[in-house]
Amino acid sequence: MDSDGKESVMISIRCDACRKDIKDARKDVNYISILGRDFCSSCNDKLRENAGKAWMSRAPMHYAEYQTLLQKTVVKMTAG
Ligand SMILES: [Zn+2]
């Protein structure tokens, strides 16, 4: 811990999907926040992939439905 009085800007975030700590977390740089859950960049990729697959299997689908699908995928990935 810093004892020189400087304000620490290091933010520690834990990925809600893989439960790993994201070092030097910067939103929209190396992690994203969606529905109040934090995803590291690799889990974000997985999230898009999972939601994308389900999207393709159910096409045609409206964008609003994709959002619902994405939410369900987020919940599924962070439930474990
Ligand atoms: Zn992760």
| Segment 15-69, tens digit of pLDDT | 999 999 999 899 999 999 999 999 999 999 999 999 988 878 876 778 888 889 9
Q: For the purposes of burial, counting CB atoms within 10 Å of the CB of 17, is it exposed (0-12), middle (13-18) or buried (19 or more)?
A: buried
Q: How far does residue 5's CA lie from ligand 1's centre (Å)?
A: 32
Q: Could you give the 3-state DSSP secondary structure of residue 39?
A: strand
pLDDT of residue 59: 67
CA of 35 to the centre of ligand 1 (A): 15
Residue 73's region, left for phi above 0, alpha for psi from -120 to 50, else beta, is alpha
The rounded Å distance from CA 16 to ligand 1 centre is 7
Does the pLDDT of residue 77 top 80, yes or no? yes
